[in-house]
Amino acid sequence: MAVQITPSILNADFAALGAEVARIASADWVHLDVMDNHFVPNLTFGPAMVEAIAQSTDLPLDAHLMIDDPDREAPAYVEAGCGSVTFHAEATRAPVRLARELRALGARACLGLRPATSIEPYADLLPEFDTILLMSVEPGFGGQRFLDVVVSKIRRARELIERHGGEIWLQVDGGVSPDTIERCAEAGADVFVAGSAVYSADDPDAMVRRLRDLATAASRLG
């Protein structure tokens, strides 16, 4: 599949999110980091804000739920307008049931893993998910440095996905920048979340296009 860039608005101006999303018109998705100050030590926003963002853009929304009770809360984000919802393996009690519920509501069901969480225990469950998201920083805050140890995990995840066949996207989130995206793409990732790299650029949309070009070139080499 083609490389996709999903900028995170975590580093955008929260007082003008509609305008901030308009600055990334070339994005494939808008990545929404939902945090509850329990699963991670930060607090952002909930379904009401997501619904407001959905009304301000035609870009599809990708909610990343870093919350304690996704089994109960995740469906509300589909109702708020998200076309993709990621919940964390470390937080959910019934990942397959939740994935099937999200799919039945019409959204992509995505499983997120923190850096220290292995992909191998979920190998047999991969066909239940549309996307696997690998965190390449500890979740909670934007602007962190990319963890190089995750590159080998990306490679292992891609190998497991290819064994199952089908189209499962492999997303990387955390520290993605022009300096790191090529390694991730070469290892097998095809969807990339970039926050500070995009919104610290003078032209965020130009950075989206640059990241896509770098990842596309690297994935062809791989």
User: Could you read off the pLDDT of 75-101 as tens digits, one per residue?
Assistant: 999 999 999 999 999 999 999 999 999
Per residue in 180-221, pLDDT tens?
999 999 999 999 999 999 999 999 999 999 999 999 999 954
Model pLDDT, residue 221: 44
Q: Which of 178, 212, 204 is nearest to 21 (CA)?
A: 204
Average pLDDT (8-32) is: 95
How far apart CA 111 and CA 90 sit, in angstroms, is 10
Burial class (CB in 10 A: 0-12, 13-18, 19+), 11: buried
Pick the CATH number of 4-221 from 3.40.605.10, 2.100.10.30, 3.30.479.10, 3.20.20.70: 3.20.20.70
- Determine what percent of the chain is predicted with pLDDT higher than 90: 91
Stated pTM of the model: 0.95
Examine the pLDDT at 36 and tell me if it is beyond 50.
Answer: yes
Examine the pLDDT at 108 and tell me if it is beyond 90.
Answer: yes
Examine the pLDDT at 20 and tell me if it is beyond 50.
Answer: yes
Model pLDDT, residue 141: 73
Per residue in 112-148, pLDDT tens?
999 999 999 999 999 999 999 999 999 877 777 999 9
Q: Report the catalytic residues.
A: 33, 173
